[in-house]
């Protein structure tokens, strides 16, 4: 899993993913404090994430294992929205 922060939306009128209602988001990977790395991904949103939310992303083969993405040309999917992260019993991120 990869952590990322949603920084934008991708609009593509010509695409070959063939998923009705697919929403693609621009995500900047981040650390456990939600600080962005400047390493961007385009990910299919499966959970209704919004701008500036910290999300969990599955990539590669795992991204193609959901019922919606099975056998589709998808490389990254947002599978969760982070509410709280703790590290060594100390809260490092809270929504």
CA 20 to chain centre: 18
Domain boundaries, the chain: 2-13+20-94
Q: Which fold has domain 2-13+20-94?
A: OB fold (Dihydrolipoamide Acetyltransferase, E2P) (2.40.50)
**pLDDT in 10s for each residue of the chain, 95 residues:** 999 999 999 987 766 677 777 899 999 999 988 889 999 999 999 999 999 999 999 998 888 888 788 888 889 999 999 999 999 999 999 98
Q: Give the three-state DSSP class for 77.
A: strand
CA-CA-CA-CA torsion sign (12, 17, 20, 21): negative
């Amino acid at each position: 899993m990869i952590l990322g922060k949603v920084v934008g939306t991708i609009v593509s009128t010509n695409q070959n993913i063939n998923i009705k209602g697919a929403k693609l988001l621009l995500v900047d990977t981040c650390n456990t404090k939600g600080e962005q790395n400047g390493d961007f991904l385009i990910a299919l949103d499966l959970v209704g994430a919004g701008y500036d939310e910290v999300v969990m992303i599955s990539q590669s083969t795992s991204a193609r294992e959901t019922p919606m993405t099975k056998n589709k040309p998808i490389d990254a999917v947002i599978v969760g929205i982070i509410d709280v992260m703790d590290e060594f019993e100390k809260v490092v991120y809270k929504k």
